[in-house]
Each structure stands twice: as C-alpha cells, then as structure tokens.
Structure 1
Amino acid sequence: MTPQPTAQAVRSKWTDKAVYAAGAVVWRLVDDKLHILLIHRTKYRDVTLPKGKVDPGEMLAETAVREVHEETGIRVSLGVPVGVSRYHLPSSKQKVVHYWAAEATDRAIRESTFVPNKEIAALEWVPLKKARARLSYPVDHEILDFFAKLVDDGVLRTFPVIALRHAKALHRSEWDGADAARPLTERGRRQADSIVGPLRAFGVRRIVTSDAVRCVQTVKPLAKSLDRKSVKTAKISQDAWEDGTDDLRSVIGRRVRSGKPAVVCSHGPVLPGILSEIALATGTIQGSYVSSAADLEPGAFSVVHLSSSNPGSGIIAIETHSPKV
C-alpha cells in the first residue's frame, strides 16, 4: 500500500507552491447608494478587484491596504474579511488571495492621486449589482457574493476591537525583579515593530494597555507611529487578574460603546476573559471560535469586528494574525 502523506507534508507542499496576495472590496455611498470600485488592468485587459502580492516580511492585512493605495491612490482601513480566492497561475502555482471590505471615505477619494498607468488603465465605481457583470473572473464573483451578504444583513460598516497579546518578554526565570517590570526580549521588540503596519491597516486610533512593562513596550512603536498616547491601566493586567482585582468588563464595555477602532494589549491568561467580555457586551453566543481567538502566541492579535450601527447585534467576524518574526 502506498503511504499517505502526513498533514504536515500536505501543508508544506501547498506552501511551496502557493503565491499569497491580498486585496479589498472597496466601497462607498453615492447618494445613499452603494458603489464598488473596480480596476481595469492595462496588461491583461480585464476588470477585477484591487489586490497584489505580499512583499517580504509583510502580513496580509498591510498588503491589502498597501495594494489598494498603490493601484487606486485611495487610502483605506480594513473592515470585515470577505473571503479567500484560490486559482492556478500559468506557472501551475496556486495563488491565494485574501480580501476584506474597505470603505473609501470622501476625503480619501479626494486625496487620491491616481492617473492611468502601465498597470491600471482606469478605475470604475459601479453599483453592486452591476459589479458582478463587469468582473472578469468567477473567483471575484465569489468574493462579491460574500460581500453582498454583509450588505443584505446590514452589517457592512463595522469597527474593530483588537485583542493583542504582548510580544515576547524575558522569562520569569531570567528576571529578578517584579513580574510586572519584565521587559521585552530583542525578538519581542522586533515583533512590536512588525505589527505596527497590520494594526494600522485596521484603522486603530485608540490604544489601551496593561500597565505591565512588557505590554507598554509592545504598543510603544504603534503609539509613536500614530502620534498618540496609550492608555495604561492595571484593570487588564496579569497581576490584577491573578489577585482578583481586574475589571475587564468596564474596559471592554467602554471600547464597545465608543464604536471606535481600538487595540487592547494584555497577557495570555487574561485574553480569554477579554474575548469573553467582548462577546457578552455584544450579545454574542460564545463558541469555540471565541476561545480560539484568545489562544494567541506572543505578539499575535485577534481582530473582532462589530457593527457600527448596532454593536449589540453580535460579533460579525473574528480573524487572528501572528507576527512573522
């Protein structure tokens, strides 16, 4: 009998052949009517959604934002993920493209410097129903179908509450001081730098962090990039969690009520409680996906997408991202 390949072997084979890319279904309201942005590519003479290949060291979310800007001149923040397309390239490799919904604000459109070029011949805003007829490829139709479901469900406009685990810190056995004073390792500092772009891709404007040094150091590069101060609180610290004085509910409740994109940086043991509080605050039935979203490695984060118009309607989507360093 021929031995079957292991799951790891299958994954390795897929990874070796796959080309990864990311993009977005960019949308806007024109006279209260939804329009989708399509690109007409010069070389291929086709009509598709803005997307492009991942650059070395990039995480998918920042690829999507960068490619939308490079192809259209429009700066966007990512909303809900709307699917993954897979297809074969002429080289026989698989291309795997991750997509998000992304609203183009009036200001972003005004500031676009797009002009037709050797890659993109034209941009076209079309109503959702007409977009399907314009698109050249069936894989784009599948992404648009998922996007249309969000529209039908009335949950297209969202905001994220992001649960972030601090980056790699010195082990307790390597530190003689108070646990809350443990700093990041060199790898941890690299992780903190590497997640700035992905977190900014989701439009983060508010930073709330445990007052432990390892958490404060994790969000410091993001705060510098945004030119904003982080809010430090013992209410979501591991020390408070261990002695029963934490107050996750008040911190998370405030973030949900604000309706503003925010990142909340805390500790591995505390994260399940943070995700649980987000679920409770939004009337979401908790399941294994909530627990999975809390099981993060150092420097990783889960993006919880909530409805802007009705946060109490439940979690719309959860996605998890891990640093590459």
Structure 2
Amino acid sequence: MIEGRIEGRIVRRIVEAAGGIVYRRRKGRNGEPGDIEVCLVHRPKYDDWSWPKGKLDANESHRHAAVREIGEETGMPVALGPYLDDVEYPLSDEGKKRRKSNSSASVLKHVMFWMATPISEEEDRNRATAFGPVHRADVDEINSVVWLTPAEARRKLTHSTDKDLLAVFMDRLAEGADRAVPFLVVRHGKAEARKAWKGEEAHRPITPHGAACAFALSYELACFNPKRLTSSPWTRCLETMDMFSWQTKQKIIHLPQLTEDAFAENPQTAWECFHGEMLNAARTGTPTAICMHRPVIGGMFDHMRGMCASHSLAKRLIAKSPYMPTGTALAVFAVPQGDGTLTIIDLQKVVPLVY
C-alpha cells in the first residue's frame, strides 16, 4: 500500500510493510529448554539475509500482513507476540547493506515488526477459516531459511537496520517477553440503542455494523491464535465472539461475573474472575480472548494500570469512558513473576478494518 505524506514542501510516498523476528528455543540436555534461535531468510534478488517481511495487501492490517508474510517466506505458521519497532528507509535502499534513516527520497518503506512464535500445523488448520489463505513464496523470492542464535544472526544479517532490530528483540527478551502470551480484551460490537430496545437488557443484540466489526475482528484475533475464548454471557458479547468461535471450532466459556449487572453489584468479584483468567493464560501459556462491556473494561483497567512495567504503558489504559471503541480489542502481554504476580510489558490496540 502506498500513501502520501507531506513534510514541509516534500510529498513522500510510503510503502507499508510488516514482518517479524520468529524465535524458538533449542532443545537442551534432558529435554530442557536451550538457547534462543531466530529465523532469517535469504532473498536471491538482493543476495541478502534479513527478517521475513513484506508489503501489505489491499484492505489488510499490518499485524495480519506480518503473520501472512512470515508464513509465505518461511513456510511456518506463526502467532504474534509483543511488538518490537518500526523501521523506515528509502525504498531505493532495499537490499543495500546500509540504509539511510533520514533522507529526502520521495518513496520510503515503512515496516512494522513483531516478535512471533511458530504454531503447530493443527493450530494453523484450526484458524485457517478465520485468518485466510497463505501462499508459499516462490524460490526466486526466498531460497533459504535458517535458524541461528542471536550472536550468529547478528553476523549473518546484511542490513544495519535489521541488526538494530535484533538489539530491540534482545531487550524484549530481557523483559521476559518470551514468557508472555496474548491476553485479548475485547469490547463487544456496537449494540442496539438502550432506549430503542424493548427486550431484556441482557438480550440486547449488536447492530449490523457491530456484526461487521465482529466479523472483521476475527481476522485480527487469528493473528494471536487465542486457544481459550471467554465472555460475558450477555447476547451482545456472545454475538461478538460467535464468528471467531464458529470459524475456529472453539466453544465460548461464559463468565457471569463479568456482566454489567454483576460488576455493578460486586466489582471485586469481577476483578478476581478477570485476573484469574490473566493468571491462567500466563502460567499455562494459553492465549486467551475475553469479551466484556464498557463499564467492566473501565474497572479492569483501574487494576491493570498498577501492573504495568512503566508509567507510559499504564497511560495507554485509557481512564475515561468509553475506554475502548466498540468492536475492538486490546492485546495484553504480561510476564509472570516469581512472587505470583504479573507485570504487563506490552499493550497493542487491535482495530478491525471494515470496508
């Protein structure tokens, strides 16, 4: 995708792309986890070694492009983890060892990078309907894929910007990011107006626009490969999760403590339920999605700010209603600590593309 950007009197075009650093742990002695390995790809056109990445398709988000491009270039289905960084350089520098970070070039390439981990073929089949097709890259585009330790990768990487990204990845590992799994907080799709709805509040459904957002949101949730789906049992929350549930053949677990009425009656019980789901996700390594209502999300955010690794991160948990737009999600990555607590190290807004 190419967009326009005006900087002073210079009009620049931006080629949007996305990718990731795919990592795994070697098997150590006696089956124990060993050293971290990262995945590099070789592009014969440029004769370079780099991170898997590629341009966005039409009507595609950066995160979806990252998962798709990694799958196409490495042959491995992956799920996204914590965010790494943006890289921008002149498109004319593609393939060059050194890329200019500040340039008057008229066309720039902007790439967003995530951490990513391989998932099994079975998991990939289960999410295929929600995610969409992935086609393996031709051999003239990618002709070799290797796993290396970070030290080996630094020597192998061709481009300075890729080496800089490796340093960001190592900083993330130091935070414990390899022990964080996606915890997806979902706000239900736009519901019918309270004043116009004649039935019981618990049965108020989402609107056609809300349904469109729920459908599009499935496309984004699949990038994180949630394996546990939970929700308030009220209709508007269940309808928001129904599409992803059907596409991935997963049941939705009802959490009655998270309805609007239950939260108003006992906020502490609602928090204990929500926090228990967070702990379970982190301790068992089970990516989880949880669908809730506006006031409940605000109450959970009040608790979560104190769990954030930094003040700047906590500020991203909005303190004012509506906290999150309807039909969107927030990907939360929390690291379990030795004392049984969790530390949130990354937050990512997940906004579906409805067109």
TM-score range, shorter chain: 0.7 to 0.9
Identity of aligned residues (%): 27
Q: How does 1:57-72 map to 2 (within 5 A)?
A: 57-72=59-74
* 1:228 CA drift (Å): 1.0
Distance in structure 2 (CA, Å) of the matches to 1:201 and 1:308: 22
- Counterpart secondary structure, 2:316: helix
Equivalent of residue 208 in structure 1, options 230, 248, 258? 230
Mapped contact 1:23–1:99 kept (Cα < 8 A):
yes
Gaps (5+ residues) in structure 1? 1-8
2:301 aligned with 1:275: yes
**Relative to structure 1, is the Cα distance of residues 15 and 51 closer, same or farther in structure 2, using a 3 angstrom cutoff?**
farther
Letter in 2 for 1:163: V
Mapped contact 1:268–1:296 kept (Cα < 8 A):
yes
**Relative to structure 1, is the Cα distance of residues 232 and 69 closer, same or farther in structure 2, using a 3 angstrom cutoff?**
same
* 1:249 CA drift (Å): 1.8
Mapped contact 1:205–1:226 kept (Cα < 8 A):
no
- Counterpart secondary structure, 2:190: coil
Query: Aligned Cα RMSD in Å?
Result: 3.1
In the other structure, the counterpart of 2:345 is: 316
Gaps (5+ residues) in structure 2? 28-33, 93-104, 126-134
* 1:114 CA drift (Å): 7.0
Q: How does 1:1-325 map to 2 (within 5 A)?
A: 17-31=13-27, 32-90=34-92, 92-104=106-118, 117-244=139-266, 247-259=269-281, 260-279=286-305, 282=307, 287-291=314-318, 295-307=323-335, 312-325=341-354
* 1:119 CA drift (Å): 0.7
Distance in structure 2 (CA, Å) of the matches to 1:78 and 1:300: 17
**Relative to structure 1, is the Cα distance of residues 226 and 71 closer, same or farther in structure 2, using a 3 angstrom cutoff?**
same
Distance in structure 1 (CA, Å) of the matches to 2:267 and 2:350: 30
Letter in 2 for 1:88: P
- Counterpart secondary structure, 1:26: strand
* 1:246 CA drift (Å): 7.1
Distance in structure 2 (CA, Å) of the matches to 1:114 and 1:172: 48
* 1:70 CA drift (Å): 0.8
* 1:306 CA drift (Å): 1.4
Please identify, of 290-299 and 169-178, the stretch whose mean Cα deviation from structure 2 is larger: 290-299
Distance in structure 2 (CA, Å) of the matches to 1:302 and 1:15: 33
1:127-151 deviation per Cα after TM superposition (whole angstroms, max 9, x unaligned): 1012122222222222211101122
1:251-297 deviation per Cα after TM superposition (whole angstroms, max 9, x unaligned): 222212213211111112221222334455x5767632222698211
- Counterpart secondary structure, 1:253: helix
* 1:166 CA drift (Å): 0.7
Distance in structure 2 (CA, Å) of the matches to 1:55 and 1:27: 25
Distance in structure 2 (CA, Å) of the matches to 1:21 and 1:84: 10
**Relative to structure 1, is the Cα distance of residues 64 and 285 closer, same or farther in structure 2, using a 3 angstrom cutoff?**
closer
1:68-90 deviation per Cα after TM superposition (whole angstroms, max 9, x unaligned): 11111101111111111112223
Distance in structure 2 (CA, Å) of the matches to 1:107 and 1:219: 23
Distance in structure 1 (CA, Å) of the matches to 2:143 and 2:69: 16
* Alignment coverage as a number of residue pairs: 313
1:150-206 deviation per Cα after TM superposition (whole angstroms, max 9, x unaligned): 223433231121111111222223322222222111111111111112112112011
In the other structure, the counterpart of 1:4 is: none
TM-score under structure 1 normalisation? Answer: 0.85
Please identify, of 149-158 and 239-248, the stretch whose mean Cα deviation from structure 2 is larger: 239-248
Distance in structure 1 (CA, Å) of the matches to 2:106 and 2:69: 24
Mapped contact 1:279–1:285 kept (Cα < 8 A):
no
Distance in structure 2 (CA, Å) of the matches to 1:278 and 1:162: 13
In the other structure, the counterpart of 2:130 is: none
Mapped contact 1:252–1:277 kept (Cα < 8 A):
no
Please identify, of 127-136 and 221-230, the stretch whose mean Cα deviation from structure 2 is larger: 127-136
Distance in structure 1 (CA, Å) of the matches to 2:296 and 2:262: 10
Letter in 2 for 1:276: D
Mapped contact 1:37–1:123 kept (Cα < 8 A):
yes
Letter in 1 for 2:47: R
